[in-house]
Amino acid sequence: MDIVYLRDLRIDTIIGIYDWERRTRQTIILDLEMGADVARAAATERMEDALNYKDVAKRLIRFVGESDFQLVETLAERCAQIILDEFDVPWVRLTLNKKGAVRGATDVGVIIERGERC
């Protein structure tokens, strides 16, 4: 299996359990690795045969930007499910970083893998 990746996708959203977090948009950062077979796209050079990472990014920007989950775990799960369901991807590894959520830590978040890695 090949991997198509997207790193450092920054999206402003409402996320958190505290009252102040519910009133203030915060930036989350997504890193994605998505299972794909790039051989066909490489052979044909047709966008229709490739995983369109721009479309993935646009879809997640819209979804995350409109969301208001309390937990990063929930947001990560929903994003992974969108990728699996809407982009015909068999496997995804998603890192959701909520930078600055813990004083003294540079990064904090979750890493999940969903689907079957071929």
pTM, two decimals, is 0.94
| Distance of alpha carbon 91 from alpha carbon 118, whole angstroms | 8
Per-residue model confidence (pLDDT) at position 73: 98
Per-residue model confidence (pLDDT) at position 46: 95
**Is 99 assigned a catalytic role?**
no
The model's pLDDT over 6-25, given as tens digits with 9 standing for 90+, comes to 999 999 999 999 999 999 99
| Distance of alpha carbon 65 from alpha carbon 11, whole angstroms | 6
Q: Are 15 and 28 in contact (CB under 8 A)?
A: yes
Per-residue model confidence (pLDDT) at position 118: 77
DSSP summary character for residue 47: G
**Choice among 54, 58, 98, 99 that is catalytic:** 98
